[in-house]
């Protein structure tokens, strides 16, 4: 099933509750929360208190994308704050520590995911394939919204879908970065079923129309 996950990075943070209600009414499936620490990526965004506030404000599925170093240190706190899915980058720590982070997320009753930066090959997912509910393939360098979609990532999306099908067919494949009504069909054709969109949703006045335009593209 296709899911649309607007990224609040492009929302008005002073009115976050209303912004999330707007996309809920507009038919969004997930709220995508971009967490940046200024170390793993050259930008700082939001953290645990914002996830906790969102949890009080909405019953929508909170898809938390951690762009932080050594996420094993913080995943339990994001789970307790009310994330529904906690997603970490394969590049953010050793395999051993990342596997421990995934174990903690699952022990807290939450879904878990692993993300790959553009330069990281699909093979890096091999140790995680059977353990995750979602794989995220970045279609921009993580750190900022509003960047140009990298269509050369579609081979990786196809490869990941092929790797998952025999061992974890229910696993979602998400793409993030530069997704809009023009690039969404390319993602769907490659096998992505969760589309993150920041500027293409929150940058538009009519969020319902923006979500529908991506869904029906
Ligand atoms: C980038 C973030 C994205 C970003 C997407 O590091 O992970 O979720 O908000 O923004 P757009 O859709 O504007 O490229
Ligand atoms: Zn993201």
Residues designated catalytic: 34, 176
* Ligand lying closest to the C-alpha of residue 117: 1
The total of structural domains in the chain comes to 1
Task: Tell me how crowded residue 5 is: count the other CB atoms within 10 A of its CB.
Answer: 28
Residue 21 belongs to domain with CATH number: 3.20.20.70
**Atom 6 of ligand 1, nearest CA residue:** 142
What proportion of the chain, given as a percentage, has pLDDT over 70?
100
Over residues 156-166, mean pLDDT: 98
Using CA atoms, how far apart are residues 83 and 64, in angstroms rounded to an integer? 6
Which tokens in the block code for residue 139? 């279609």
Binding site membership of 7 for ligand 1 (Cβ less than 6 Å): yes
Residues 15-25 pLDDT 10s: 999 999 999 99
Residues 164-217 pLDDT 10s: 999 999 999 999 999 999 999 999 999 999 999 999 999 999 999 999 999 999
pLDDT of residue 91: 98
Cα(29) to centroid of ligand 2, in Å? 15
Which residues make up the environment of ion ligand 2, defined by Cβ < 5 Å?
Answer: 34, 65, 176
What is the CA angle 107-109-114, rounded to 5?
80
Binding site membership of 51 for ligand 1 (Cβ less than 6 Å): no
The CA-based dihedral angle spanning residues 210, 12, 143, 63, taken in that order and rounded to the nearest 10 degrees:
-70
What atom in ligand 1 is closest to the CA of residue 41? 6
Predicted confidence band of residue 110 (pLDDT cuts 50, 70, 90):
very high
Structural domain span for residue 176: 3-215
Predicted confidence band of residue 60 (pLDDT cuts 50, 70, 90):
very high
């Amino acid at each position: 099933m296709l899911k649309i996950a607007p990224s609040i990075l492009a929302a008005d943070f002073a009115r976050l509750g209303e912004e999330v209600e707007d996309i809920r009414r507009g038919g969004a499936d997930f709220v995508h929360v971009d967490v940046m620490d200024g170390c793993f990526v050259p930008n700082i965004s939001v953290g645990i208190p914002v996830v906790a506030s969102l949890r009080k404000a909405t019953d929508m599925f909170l898809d938390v994308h951690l762009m932080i170093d050594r996420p094993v240190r913080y995943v339990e706190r994001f789970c307790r704050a009310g994330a529904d899915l906690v997603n970490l980058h394969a590049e953010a720590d050793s395999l051993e520590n990342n596997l421990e982070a995934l174990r903690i997320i699952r022990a807290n009753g939450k879904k878990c995911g692993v993300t790959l930066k553009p330069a990281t090959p699909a093979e890096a997912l091999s140790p995680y394939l059977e353990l995750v509910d979602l794989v995220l393939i970045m279609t921009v360098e993580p750190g900022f919204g509003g960047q140009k979609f990298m269509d050369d990532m579609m081979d990786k999306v196809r490869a990941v879908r092929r790797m998952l099908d025999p061992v974890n067919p229910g696993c979602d494949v998400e793409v993030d970065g530069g997704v809009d009504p023009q690039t969404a069909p390319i993602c769907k054709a490659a096998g992505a079923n969760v589309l993150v969109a920041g500027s293409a949703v929150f940058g538009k006045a009519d969020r319902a129309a923006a979500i529908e335009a991506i869904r029906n593209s």
